[in-house]
Structure 1
Amino acid sequence: MNEAMLWTHRDTCPCCGSPLELAVDTSAGNQEYVEDCEVCCAPICIQVTLDIQGQVSEITLRREAD
């Protein structure tokens, strides 16, 4: 995988508030996936939206139950 296609996003867990760092593969285009928090193990729904140049324009994190 080309490292230029990896984008780092820092945020907080929507469940416990712990800081987290995500590595987003922009080669996959717009995407939605679930990843567990490393601290509280709660599932986090992550939605990634890219602009027309393929750059990250928005990342939304929410609890799986929301």
Structure 2
Amino acid sequence: MLEHYFTCPYCWETISMLLDNSVSKQVYIEDCEVCCNPIQISVQFNNSELMDFQADSLEQ
């Protein structure tokens, strides 16, 4: 597991999340721990090293 800090796309607060680096590509929805809005998380690992991280709002 890897702790990663990022900015919420809704409330702009810095939050942390534990990422599972045993799965190379992941896309899932996680609620912000501050404002509770849903964030689409996209991560990519290569040999357990974080290569790409995106945290996007679900608003259109």
**Distance between the aligned counterparts of 1:44 and 1:62, measured in 2?**
6
Q: Is 1:63 the equivalent of 2:49?
A: no
Bigger share in strand: 2
Look at both structures and tell me which one has the larger radius of gyration over its CA atoms. Answer: 1
Bigger share in helix: 1
Alignment RMSD: 1.1
Q: Report the Cα offset of residue 48 of structure 1.
A: 0.3
Unmatched runs of 5 consecutive residues or more in structure 1: 1-5
Unmatched runs of 5 consecutive residues or more in structure 2: none
Q: Which amino acid aligns with 2:58?
A: E
2:23 counterpart (7, 22, 28) = 28
SS of 1:9's equivalent?
strand
Q: Which residue matches 1:39? A: 34
Q: Is 1:18 the equivalent of 2:7?
A: no
